Amino acid sequence: MLAHDRHGEGPPLVLLHFLGGHRHVWGPLLPHLTRDRTVVTVDLPGFGDSRSLAGSPTLARLTDAVAGTIAELGLDRPAVAGLSLGGGIAIELARAGTVSSAVAVSPIGFATLPEMAFAKASIRATHAASRAIAGQVDRLAPQATLRAALGAQMFAKPWAVPPEDAAGLVRSMAHSPGTLPVLRAAMGQEVVAGGLLAPLTVAWGQRDALLLPRQGRRVVERLSYSRLVPLAGCGHIPLWDAPERVADVILDATAPR
């Protein structure tokens, strides 16, 4: 079973983080989500407190690991929301009918080959920079200019990320054993066209500089039973850019019907 935490009470909602993240990145959204939901935050394989998968961590195998944890927790078709890598997994769970509804925020799987090459090169550069400063990050993170420089591609408002959160993200990117294997095995995979067995809402930060916003239109063209919601003023990781807005999108899209 993957490492996880439970918060709040109500219909279950599973949250899946981005590559290089961990289950605690959802902290800015939890006060908004836990008023109405039982929120289960999960560490994907190779991140946080979850062990890496044996063998190649493809998108399908990561999805199977999450589906296995959902089953072990006794959750009957919960709602799911995921960001970037987690968004790609959320889509695959909706395709399989494992969940009742899904939200994918700037999901992987819809980039052209040049766009994905750019994204993967950017993540490798972020990984290298994170490893270079990880040992000093607690001293450096309080500097707003440094947070702005490191997070410019990921956040619309990188200076708004609290220093302790920024330091945790740097350490996670630098030291998670899953970062590079998942980057190689899952980030280049394309989500194929087809139907879904659960409704899908795709939210995309309109200032996303890693996976460009135009990729959002490809989702609704490729996947039936999906809709696109733009997140104005948000970057690739909008959790600190507009936490209440992102939480509202998730709550609306996953409301029991």
Is the separation of the CB atoms in 156 and 233 below 8 Å? yes
Tell me, yes or no, whether 120 lies in a domain. no
Tell me, yes or no, whether 130 lies in a domain. no
The rounded distance, in Å, linking the Cα atoms of 132 and 236 is: 23
> What is residue 155's predicted lDDT score, i.e. its pLDDT?
96
The average pLDDT across 189-218 equals 92
Print the domain residue range for 81.
4-114+180-253
Sheet containing 79-83: give its strands across: 4-7, 38-42, 12-16, 79-83, 101-105, 200-205, 226-231
Share of residues in the chain with pLDDT > 70 (%): 100
What is the CATH classification number for the domain harbouring 82? 3.40.50.1820
Intra-chain end-to-end CA distance of the chain, in Å? 29
Count of domains forming the chain: 1
Those residues with Cβ within 8 angstroms of residue 107's Cβ, 6 or more apart along the chain or in another chain: 82, 84, 87, 88, 90, 91, 191, 202, 211, 219
Tell me, yes or no, whether 139 lies in a domain. no
> What is residue 46's predicted lDDT score, i.e. its pLDDT?
98
Tell me, yes or no, whether 195 lies in a domain. yes
Those residues with Cβ within 8 angstroms of residue 156's Cβ, 6 or more apart along the chain or in another chain: 205, 207, 233, 234, 235, 238, 241
pLDDT digit string (tens) for 71-116? 999 999 999 999 999 999 999 999 999 999 999 999 999 999 999 9
Tell me, yes or no, whether 61 lies in a domain. yes
Tell me, yes or no, whether 126 lies in a domain. no
- Mean of the per-residue pLDDT values for the chain? 95
Instruction: Output the pTM of the full model.
Output: 0.96
Distances (CA, A) of 18 to 42, 187, 195, 220: 11, 11, 24, 21
Instruction: Please report which confidence band the pLDDT of residue 188 belongs to, taking 50, 70 and 90 as the band edges.
Output: confident
Tell me, yes or no, whether 229 lies in a domain. yes
pLDDT digit string (tens) for 17-74? 999 999 999 999 999 999 999 999 999 999 999 999 999 999 999 999 999 999 999 9
> What is residue 73's predicted lDDT score, i.e. its pLDDT?
97
Tell me, yes or no, whether 233 lies in a domain. yes
